[in-house]
Amino acid sequence: MIDECLVVEFVVTGDDCPLAEASKTIGVRIDCQPPQHRDDGYALLRFSTPKGSNGLTDFLDADDRIRYLHVSTTDGRQNFRCLSKHPCVVHELTNVGFMAESLRYRDGSATFTGAVVGHDVLQGVLEAAGETVGMQLQRIHQLGSEDENVVAQQWDVTPAQERALRTASEMGYFGVPRKTTASEVAEKLGISKSAFLERIHRAERSLFSQMFA
């Protein structure tokens, strides 16, 4: 058994996927969850950008590789869902052992964060990437207990909702009895009490719908 798990971060260049091209053309940072590949050859993409990222929707709508684009706005961010028929580099890396956590696109480049089990698997991931795109290893460290949930679980919540959940949990908001109030957590986050409660409720609804679907 191999018990060494490594958290790694790569910077990828040369990827011609729709999100990489959009980030360069529109000049916006795109935060993406790992794509879900379907049997019909399409990949389900879920990603978000700051609210007011003008031009991204039109750019993707005009890309004939994108299908069924849906856009919504929550907590000051635009959330996108679509199907892409463009083969994703992450899929190739997953085939050789890369467990993707998050993808971030900016100025045509991408940062992939995830985990690999052992240095041999890491070497295989680097070799696979070298055959398709340019990849530079940015950071690497051993997986600790504080990282396990981040890498192992992919919940459909926004970054703002995740911060609210994490801060509330760390402050004991979900404890029995509670160790803090909604107002105190909201102050820590720098938002209003109503905004904090809305984020928590939206996150809970998303989590529960996935858990009990």
When pLDDT is cut at 50, 70 and 90, the band that residue 145 belongs to is very low
Higher pLDDT, 209 or 111: 111
Percentage of the chain with pLDDT > 90?
Answer: 23
Write out pLDDT tens, residues 47-70: 998 877 778 999 999 999 999 999
Contact predicate 90/101, CB 8 Å: no
The reported pLDDT for the residue numbered 148 is: 47
The reported pLDDT for the residue numbered 211 is: 58
Write out pLDDT tens, residues 7-49: 888 888 888 889 999 999 999 999 998 888 888 888 899 999 8
When pLDDT is cut at 50, 70 and 90, the band that residue 184 belongs to is very high
When pLDDT is cut at 50, 70 and 90, the band that residue 100 belongs to is confident
Q: Among 116, 157, 109, 158, which residue's Cα sits nearest to residue 134?
A: 109
How far is residue 113 from each of residues 59, 81, 100, 151, 192, measured CA to CA in Å?
26, 20, 6, 9, 31
Contact predicate 54/71, CB 8 Å: no
Type and span of the H or E element at 101: strand 99-106
The reported pLDDT for the residue numbered 151 is: 37
How far is residue 171 CA from its own chain's centroid?
Answer: 24
Write out pLDDT tens, residues 147-179: 544 433 445 667 778 788 888 888 888 888 888
User: What's the rounded Cα separation, in Å, for the pair 155 and 207?
Assistant: 7
**pTM for the full predicted model:** 0.64
Judged against a pLDDT cut of 80, whether residue 1 lies above it is answered with no
3-class DSSP state of 30? strand
3-class DSSP state of 104? strand
When pLDDT is cut at 50, 70 and 90, the band that residue 182 belongs to is very high
